[in-house]
Amino acid sequence: MPEPDRAQSPARASQLADEEAIVARAMDGDRGAFTQLVEHYQSACYGLAWRLLGDPDMAADAAQDAFIHAYDAIRGYRGGLFRSWLLRITANASYDILRRMQRRPTTVLPDPADGVPELPDLAAPNPIAEAERGELYRYLDAALQLLTEDQRVAVTLCDVYGMDYDEVSLMTSAPIGTVKSRIHRGRLRLRELLEPHRELFGAERRQAP
């Protein structure tokens, strides 16, 4: 399975400065303002699509579908976090593709040594911890792709992108009880898959409150 480009993986995009004003201009039909918004969040959308679909081309297609849909629907945007709104649209676009393709994971957990090693952020207070975190994320993404489709979608939407059970239930057309069960089993399966690499969680544990 092709790995996403991590050489310049951005951290989670924070909220855009003056986002409300830019959104208002985009709602008035300002294409430049809309471009500014989408440019800012394209990595977030692509990341979500890649995690749901596991394929860079399909993820790019899903992200583009989402942008076009968002452009058409922005007049109906009713406030709240624009990032969450855009991610919901991306998740729906990805899920539509997923339903069409009905793909199933067939690959094994890759060795991160095969991928492009991420350079530690030398400006970080603890470069060693940052390097560990980068490797952990590679394993996490690879392990996510080994979950069943239902579990991967539920865990990605809930644990990675912070959607609540109701949203996931609505998006996947599954009862809340089913969604909870998929998330629980998915987390347990992830833990199992990452058991041989538990030392990678050291940095997370040290950072945990």
Partner 1 sequence: MDPMTHPADERLAALAGDELEARTDAGLGAHVDECMRCSTLVTELRTLQTALSKLPDLVPSRPLRLLPPVPEPERAPTGVFGTLRRLAGPALAIGALLMVVGAFGSVGSGLPGGAAGAAPALVESASDAARAAVGSHQPSPTATGQFSRDSASPAVPVARGVSPSPRASTDEQKSVATPSPTATPLNRAPTDLSGQGANLYPLILLLGTALAVSGALVLIVGRIRVP
Instruction: Catalog residues that contact partner 1 under the rule CB under 8 A.
Output: 2, 4-13, 31, 34-35, 38-39, 42-44, 46-47, 50-51, 56-57, 59-60, 63-64, 67-68, 71-72, 133, 136-137, 140-141, 155, 159-160, 162, 180-181, 183-185, 187-188, 190-191, 194, 198, 201, 204-205, 207-208
In the complex, minimum distance from the CB of residue 21 to partner 1, in angstroms, rounded to a whole number? 19
Whose Cβ is closer to partner 1: residue 77's or residue 137's? 137
22: left (phi over 0), alpha (psi -120 to 50) or beta: alpha
In the complex, minimum distance from the CB of residue 4 to partner 1, in angstroms, rounded to a whole number? 4
In the complex, minimum distance from the CB of residue 102 to partner 1, in angstroms, rounded to a whole number? 22
In the complex, minimum distance from the CB of residue 64 to partner 1, in angstroms, rounded to a whole number? 5
DSSP assignment of 143-173: HHTTS-HHHHHHHIIIIIT---HHHHHHHHT
DSSP assignment of 92-141: HHHHHHHHHH-----PPPPPGGGSPPPPP-TTSS-HHHHHHHHHHHHHHH
